[in-house]
Structures are given as structure tokens and as C-alpha cells.
Structure 1
Amino acid sequence: MKRAVVVALMVAQACTPQSSDSGRTVYNDKCAVCHGFNGRGDGDLADGLDPRPADLTQIAARRDGVWPMLEVMAIIDGYTKRYLPGSDMPIYDEFLEGDLVTFDTGNGIRQKAPANLLSIARYLETLQDPKPERSVP
């Protein structure tokens, strides 16, 4: 009985909104139709978009191996798009709704962020090819 409780707690923790597993679920639901299930910009709607959706597996590679966590979160949350339009990427307000979670931005500073937004950013980090050499806030 005690072991079952521990396993249940571990599973619940692994699937919290800030985990990359839950980020995959949100990504597949909202982003894959354009960016593709593997993040390469080849989703079902990609051919009809101009510009084409970005290859999300190359974010760190385009930045010399650096994973820019806060920059990625800013693009996903749509904040800059509200004021600087220029792509067909929709703004999903639900990424900003719900629970706030605390995370380390990468420089030792702990911030609160929407759990869904953080989970998508963490999932995108797992898609990087090659894997990032380091992260920056």
C-alpha cells in the first residue's frame, strides 16, 4: 500500500503542468498542426502559411548551442506579437491562464510563470537537435 502511494505521487509529480510531458500534450494540441509533431515546421497547415512555421528543433542551434528559455517563453506567450505583428502564429491566452509555478530562470533568480507556458518551453527544449550546450535566461 505504501509503495502504491509513493508511485502515485511520483507519477503525479512527473505530469505536473510544468513538466515537459504535459508540455508535449499542450504542444500536440495547439502547436503541432503548424509546427509538426516533431517540431520541424512541417505540420498539416504549414504549406498554406507565409512565412512557414519555424523549425523548433533548431532554436538552440541558431543561437550557437544556447537555449534561450525566457526568449522562447516570450515568443510562445504572444506578448511581443500583440504589439509587433508579422506572423500567422496565433496567440493562445490559455497558455497564460491557470496556476503559476516558480522556476529558476537560469541565473539563480526564481520567477513565477504560468504552468502551461513553462511546460511548453521545457518540452521544446527536449526537441533540440543537437541538444543545447547551455542555457541562458
Structure 2
Amino acid sequence: MRVTLPRCVVLTGVWLVSSLAVAQGRFDLGKRVYDNSCASCHGVAAKGDGPLTRYLVKPSPDLTLLARHNGEVFPRDRVAEVIDGRTSTEIGPHGSREMPIWGDVFRKDAGTAGVRGARQVERHAQQRVQALVDYLARLQEK
């Protein structure tokens, strides 16, 4: 890919602004992904009370209790698997796969965002999945 000077300046500016925001604690990719992708069903506080949960076959689970229901250990790998959706065949509380396969959604978003190349697209998707897992881990009730 050929990078022109104006494109390089824009990309550098975006990187600088996002780096400063992260350094100052203002940007949380996991929270942003959660708010944009999960809150409508699971609720703003991840308690399973989102506005769309009443339209689901089974109610959305309280995501703040995942560690409690797993011997006080947050099941990172399982949560990532469910979010990504490609390797998980059963979803437990979700019954059939009513929850979107977010890994596919994040890969499509990567293409829309101009990310090119299979490795880069996969990396983009996995960064979002892992940021979301990290965010959910921080929300666990003690």
C-alpha cells in the first residue's frame, strides 16, 4: 500500500490523539466496544437489563456475575470464545446462537475502516474481542 504525505499526516494525527487519550485514561476500547455492541441487550451496567432483552427468546445474562458462577475465576477464554463465536457451538444461557457472532462483525468493520490484509483484519477483530473481555473482567462483582 502506498502512503501519501497527507494520508500519513492524518494517520499520525489519529495515532497521536488516541495515544494521548489512552495515556490520560480517557479512551477505553473495551468500554467503547461494549457500549456499541453489547449494552442494548446486556444493559449499560452489564446486568442483563438492556432495552432489547425483552425481545430475546432467553433473557440476557448478568455479565457481572461470570466470575462468581465460575468459582470466583473470570473465564477469559470461554468469554472470548462466546464473543468471537466462530469456535463455539453452544452458548448455554443464550440457547441457540441468538447473540451475534461478534468476531465476524468486527472483521467486517475492519474492512469498512480500511484495514487490509487477512492478518490485519484478524488482528483488528481480536483486539476488539480481547478489549471487550478485559472490560468485562473489570466489571465482575466481588
TM-score bracket, normalised by the shorter chain, equals 0.5 to 0.7
**Aligned pair partner of 2:84 in 53, 56, 77:** 77
Task: Give ranges in structure 2 of 5+ residues lacking alignment.
Answer: 1-15, 111-120
Which amino acid is 1:11 matched to? L
**Structure with the bigger percentage of helix:** 2
2:135 to 118, 123, 127: 123
TM-score, normalization by structure 1: 0.66
Q: Which has the higher contact order (CA 8 A, sep 6+)?
A: 1
- 2:57 and 2:128 mapped to 1: Cα distance? 27
Question: Which one-letter code corresponds to 2:67 in the other structure?
Answer: A
Higher CA-based Rg: 2
Per the alignment, do residues 45 and 9 of structure 1 end up closer, same or farther by CA in structure 2, a change over 3 Å counting?
closer
Deviates more, 1:21-30 or 1:86-95: 86-95
Percent sequence identity is 34
Number of aligned pairs?
Answer: 108
> What's the offset of the Cα at 1:100?
2.4
- Go from structure 1 to structure 2 and tell me whether the alpha carbon gap of 1:80 and 1:51 turns closer, same or farther (over 3 Å shift): farther
In the superposition, the TM-score normalised over structure 2's length comes to 0.64
Richer in strand (by share): 1
Task: Give the SS at the match of 2:74.
Answer: strand
